[in-house]
Amino acid sequence: MNDIRFPNDLLPTGITAPIAFIVDKRPDLPDYGVDNGDLVIVDREAKFAEGVLSVFVKNKTNRDTNPHPYRVSREKIKDYKYFGKVAMVMKYYGNSPLTS
């Protein structure tokens, strides 16, 4: 994967540890306004808050057998650990890096 350079001025105020993903909705994700090919920016240092859109990662013991170790949810997910709070979703209208 190539590094994504993103101007700090476009990041939400207060984000301290950004990391970005391009969403691949396999298996299908619940509809949180996040679609296949969207760029999701997560703040790794934000504390978990119930009801806030967050990213969770499959526990290490099951990660090797799970081709989709990351999930997006507003609640904790069994067998996943909290990874960070979704700070921003950028939509691509046209071809995203995932679909091009």
pTM metric for this prediction = 0.74
The structure tokens listed for 100 are: 């091009």
More confident of the two residues 7 and 88: 88
87 pLDDT higher than 70: yes
- Tokens for 5, please give them: 């350079």
Of 70 and 97, the one with more pLDDT: 70
Upper half-sphere CA count for residue 58 (Cβ side, 13 Å) = 11
Query: What residues contact 25, with CB distance under 8 A and at least 6 apart?
Result: 34, 35, 36
Where residue 1 falls among pLDDT bands split at 50, 70, 90?
A: very low
Q: Which two tokens stand for residue 49?
A: 């808050």
Instruction: Please determine, for residue 2, whether its predicted confidence score (pLDDT) is greater than 60.
Output: no
Domains of the chain with CATH codes: 8-90 (2.10.109)
pLDDT digits (tens, 9 = 90+) for 32-73: 778 778 888 999 999 999 999 999 988 776 556 666 678 888
Q: Which two tokens stand for residue 31?
A: 């509809």
- What percentage of the chain carries pLDDT values higher than 70? 75
Residue 97 pLDDT greater than 80, yes or no: no
